[in-house]
Amino acid sequence: MKRVLTIAGSDCSGGAGIQADIKTMSAHGVYAMSVIVSVVAENTVHVLKKQDIAPEIVRAQVDAIYEDIGTDAVKIGMLPTPEVMSAVAEKLRKYCPKNVVVDPVMYAKDGTALMAPQSIETFKAEILPLADVLTPNIPEAEEITGMHIETEDDMCAAAKLIYTMGCKAVLVKGGHFAGDPIDILFDGEQHISFTANRIQTKNTHGTGCTLSSAIASNLALGYAPAEAVKRAKDYMTCAIEHALELGHGAGPTNHFYSLYQSGLPK
Ligand SMILES: Nc1ncnc2c1ncn2[C@@H]1O[C@H](COP(=O)(O)OP(=O)(O)O)[C@@H](O)[C@H]1O
Ligand SMILES: Cc1ncc(COP(=O)(O)OP(=O)(O)O)c(N)n1
């Protein structure tokens, strides 16, 4: 069985973070493992509080995975502080895992910062170069590049600029624009667009986590990056289409429906 590790924060309400990652990975038929870097008290409406995990416990969790089981892919999500980023980077440089997908989570839907603002330079220097695929949304791509992104051409230019910062491929996600969402992948050679119909729903809690975990799962299963992104987007669009009307805010994506739709991998 393929093994996929998520390094991310815990969302106690189960819609985003580690919980969304593990549901997505399980739906893809891979063995999911987790390194928890922050415990976030949040729900479909807002973030109440968070407690970051000490860097030495983060380091020890990564050691625990690699001294025993190992990985076929790694997904990195929320990294709250420069200290946690350095701890993760140090360990990944040591263990050199294949197929690293980095979702540069900066804010929760209610605007709460999940990455401390002073972390961006450490993120760019230590985490970004580890990524085989980096998956910023529009505000995150703006923060990383300093560009203002308004059009599809801007998304292409931002993807190119982020690529020059050292990752192997970049997927700029267009979910924050109006109209049908277009995501653009740049791998150093070409731009590839992935489009889907916009689903009219408020229930999109955890879409970024779901997409990045699905990409990591598909890379672990042996798909090349562009095919892994295509399959992940199909999975995620289905998960949004059948999103759950739970809670009083943005409900979570539906992994169980997607599992039945896509079937178990060979
Ligand atoms: N309403 C929607 N219908 C279909 N796809 C969507 C919708 N909202 C977002 N997406 C897709 O979900 C993924 C993540 O979306 P985005 O909102 O850009 O990132 P994030 O969740 O990190 O803020 C992207 O592939 C985007 O195109
Ligand atoms: C613990 C935790 N990690 C990440 C997020 C943000 O997840 P994302 O998939 O980007 O979802 P939305 O912010 O679009 O709901 C989170 N909220 N909590």
- Please say if 173 is a catalytic residue: yes
pTM of the model: 0.97
- Please say if 208 is a catalytic residue: yes
Q: What is the mean pLDDT of the chain?
A: 95
The CATH fold of domain 3-262? UDP-N-acetylmuramoyl-L-alanine:D-glutamate ligase (3.40.1190)
The two structure tokens encoding residue 129: 């170069």
Residue 189 C-alpha to ligand 2 middle, in angstroms? 30
- Please say if 209 is a catalytic residue: yes
CA angle (76 as vertex; 74, 82 as ends), nearest 5: 135
Are 103 and 208 in contact by the 8 Å Cβ rule? The answer is: yes
Q: What does the domain layout of the chain look like in residue ranges?
A: 3-262
Q: What is the DSSP string of 71-99?
A: -SEEEE----SHHHHHHHHHHHHHH--SS
- Closest ligand 1 atom to residue 103 Cα is 22
The two structure tokens encoding residue 251: 């409900």
Position 257 scores a pLDDT of: 74
Tell me the residue type at 121. E
What confidence tens digit (pLDDT) does each residue in 81-126 have?
999 999 999 999 999 999 999 999 999 999 999 999 999 999 999 9
What confidence tens digit (pLDDT) does each residue in 185-206 have?
999 999 999 999 999 999 999 9
Residue 220 C-alpha to ligand 2 middle, in angstroms? 23
